[in-house]
A and B are shown apart, each in its own frame.
Chain A
Amino acid sequence: MKIAVCVKQVPDTWAEKTLSAADSTLDRAAADGVLNELDEYAVEEALQVAEAHGGELTVVSMGPERAAETVRKALSMGADAGIHIVDDSLHGSDAIATSAVLAAALEGRGFDLIVFGSESTDARMSVIPAMVAERLGIAQLTFAQRVSLSGSDVTIERVTDYGFDTVTGSTPAVISVVEKINEPRYPSFKGIMAAKKKPVDTVTVADLGLEAATVGQAAAWSAVEDFAARPPKPAGTVVTDEGDGGSRIAAYLTEQKFI
Chain B
Amino acid sequence: MTTVLVLAERDSSNGTVKKTTLELLTLARRLGEPQVVWFGDQGSEAASVLGEYGASAVHVVGGQDMADHPVVPIVDVLQDLVAELDAKAVLVPSSADGKEAAGRLAVRIGSGVITDAVDINESGVATQSVFGGSTVVHSTVTHGIGIYTVRPNSVAPAPAPTTCTVVDVDTTASEAAKTARVVERTVAGKGGRPELTEAAVVVSGGRGVGGAEGFEVIEKLADSLGAAVGASRAATDAGWYPHLYQVGQTGKTVSPQLYIANGISGAIQHRAGMQTSKVVVVVNKDAEAPLFELADFGVVGDLFEVVPQLTDEIDSRSN
Contact = CB atoms under 8 A, between A and B. Distances in A.
B226 to A, nearest CB: 10
B90 interface: no
B290 to A, nearest CB: 12
B130 to A, nearest CB: 8
Interface stretch (A48-56, A58-66, A128-136): A128-136
Given A162-B189, A239-B299, A240-B287, A131 B103 contact: yes
B144 interface: yes
Nearest to B132: A17
Contact of A18 (B70, B135, B302): B135
A224 B136 CA distance: 11
Top 8 nearest A-B pairs by Cβ distance?
Answer: A241-B301, A246-B309, A127-B103, A221-B112, A163-B188, A250-B313, A246-B310, A221-B143
Interface stretch (B47-55, B93-101, B204-212): B93-101
Contacts of B297: 236-238, 248-249, 252
Nearest to A164: B186
Contacts, number: 280
Interface string A17-28: 111000010000
A143 interface: yes
Interface string B154-195: 000000000000000000000010011111111111000001
Interface in A94-134: 94-96, 99, 121-122, 124-131, 133-134
A240 B301 contact: yes
A54 to B, nearest CB: 24
Contacts of B44: none
A235 to B, nearest CB: 8
Given A163-B244, A252-B297, A229 B135 contact: yes
Contacts of A134: 75, 103-104, 107-108, 176
Nearest to B198: A161
Interface stretch (B25-33, B34-42, B113-121): B113-121
27 contacts: A13-B249, A13-B268, A17-B132, A24-B137, A38-B250, A94-B112, A95-B106, A95-B113, A96-B113, A134-B104, A142-B96, A159-B96, A163-B186, A221-B141, A222-B141, A226-B137, A230-B134, A238-B298, A246-B308, A249-B283, A249-B306, A250-B310, A250-B317, A252-B281, A253-B281, A256-B258, A258-B225
Interface in A120-176: 121-122, 124-131, 133-135, 137-143, 155, 157-170, 173
B85 interface: no
Contact of A166 (B104, B183, B243): B183
